[in-house]
Homo-oligomer: A and B are copies of this chain.
Amino acid sequence: MEHSGGASHSESLLFLTDDQLRKGIEAMFFAYRGFTADPDRILEGMDYGRAHHRALHFIHRSPGTTVNNLLAILGVTKQSLNRVLRGLIEDGLVESRVGRADKRERHLHLTKKGGDLERSLSDAQRARMRAAYRAAGPGAVQGFRQVLEAMMDDSTRRQYQSLKETSL
């Protein structure tokens, strides 16, 4: 058992056994389920799903963002995003305003109704994150974020970081 990939061990914390890595992988898998569980519960029954949650989140986060912008962040096709946005716009949760400088662009904003749903979703998700942070203790938070950042693709990390610095 242990270090099945060959090479000698020694618990020098920067030599990482396959077993340590596997635990991290499984933790990531199981934790993501918890991460999405509360919003999923809120959304089930409504006509919406995880894709709607993501759109609401990033529109809330960057009000006035364009469709193209959102596409880049979400990493899906415009057809896929369009289906989601159409529903949100029809139901009056999102407002699509023609750009002033560039009239081809649509700038997206949450309505009162959209903002309300976004808040209930993010409240639930934040509550879980807060509880996890508290349970793990002060030191853990930084490590958590560092590993997650390092796990991203380079292009994703750039998006995350430019987003990170944008105040809400």
Contacts and interface: CB of A to CB of B under 8 A. Distances in A.
Contacts of A144: 24, 27, 140, 143-144, 146-148
B168 A1 contact: yes
Interface stretch (A31-39, A78-86, A95-103): A31-39
Interface stretch (A64-72, A105-113, A152-160): A152-160
Given A140-B143, A143-B142, A167-B2, A149 B27 contact: yes
Contacts of A61: 22, 26
B167 A151 contact: no
A147 B133 contact: yes
Interface residues of A, number: 65
Given A31-B152, A145-B27, A126 B22 contact: yes
B4 A168 contact: yes
Given A21-B133, A33-B153, A167-B4, A26 B160 contact: yes
A160 B139 CA distance: 22
A150 interface: yes
A25 interface: yes
Contact of A141 (B29, B33, B143): B143
Interface in A107-129: 122, 125-126, 128-129
B28 A156 contact: no
A21 B134 CA distance: 11
B129 A139 contact: no
A45 interface: no
Contact of A148 (B19, B28, B153, B167): B28
A140 B147 contact: yes
Contact of A28 (B20, B35, B54): B35
